[in-house]
Amino acid sequence: MNEELIEAIAFGSVTLVGYFGNFPRKHGNCFSVKANDEKYYRILNFNHENLTELIKRETVSFPIKISVLKERFAVIVDGRIPNEWYSRTFCENCCPRDLLPAPQRINQILDIQRGIRTETKMEMNGEVFYSIGYNIKSNQPGYIYTPYIVEQAQNIEILCDQNFNSKEINKVLLTEITITKKDEGED
């Protein structure tokens, strides 16, 4: 870990998965921050819900201290934040393999051996990525299935940047969703 800290000055992107529960939450959405070096970093040791709650409670505010681990990945290291708010593990979906703590990577390898997890290696623009899949039964304990249907609204124009790894993003995704409660018995 780089012990030289820089400052996160604003939120960047945020995933959009619904998480509920008391704070601090064990799981939440992944996010990135914009730092004072004008770069964006994916935060690996914190979730968005917990950080926004701490900002709301005025426990912390931007700028927030971060430590860059590698290229565009960082961890929050800010003494104003109580220890119990930090994630004890890195997000296994967002974190590159080489930055995962050994116990987490060992658990992934065991899940692959047991047929629970699959990893497909892909290469794009000289970088290696892994497509992750899970073989999860719908009644497996520990997984929550929401009773909602998400539908894309009509007349939506979607513009995608095929070179998502470029530093400048000049295209956007314009969309609108409608969320409706599922009927009983609907999958």
pLDDT at 184: 55
- Would you list the DSSP string of 129-162? EEEEEE---TT-TT----SEEEEEPSS--B---S
d(CA 81, CA 59): 7
Give mean pLDDT, residues 99-125: 88
More reliable by pLDDT, 73 or 182: 73
pTM as predicted:
0.67
Most trustworthy range by pLDDT among 12-26, 120-134, 150-164: 12-26
pLDDT at 23: 95
The pLDDT of residue 117 is above 60: yes
Most trustworthy range by pLDDT among 70-74, 79-83, 92-96, 163-167: 79-83
User: Residue ranges of the domains in the chain?
Assistant: 1-91
